[in-house]
Structure 1
Amino acid sequence: MPQMMPLSWMALFAVFSIALVTFAAMNFYSYVPKTPTTHQKISVKSVNWKW
């Protein structure tokens, strides 16, 4: 493998770092949580207290 000058290594590191940050941001912001569409009615028994 031929030797690369340090500037080339830094450019390669910068390109891969920018790609990593870009894909991580795309993955984070493309997530859409599912909202529950069915609303279940909670039945509450009301107790009439007769003293």
Structure 2
Amino acid sequence: MPQMSPLSWLILFIIFCLTFILFNVLNYYCFLYPVKTTSTKPKTQTISWKW
């Protein structure tokens, strides 16, 4: 559309950039890793002495 004024192109570019940045930020901060639950029981190891 060559008949558009340069200001409109600038506003369009800014809107696209802000949309892209917002999309990336939301994807980065909204992703939740699955919670890894591990039991914290201490391991007891029996030592068999062979005298």
TM-score range (shorter-chain normalised) is: 0.5 to 0.7
Query: What's the TM-score, normalizing by structure 2?
Result: 0.67
Which ranges of 4 or more aligned residues in structure 1 deviate by more than 2 Å? Answer: 43-51
Runs of 5+ unmatched residues, structure 1: none
The answer to whether structure 1 residue 23 and structure 2 residue 38 are counterparts is no
C-alpha RMSD of the superposition:
2.7
Secondary structure of the corresponding residue to residue 21 of structure 1: helix
Runs of 5+ unmatched residues, structure 2: none
Query: What's the TM-score, normalizing by structure 1?
Result: 0.67
Give aligned pairs, total: 50
For residues 1-16 of structure 1, the aligned pairs below 5 Å read 1=1, 3-16=3-16
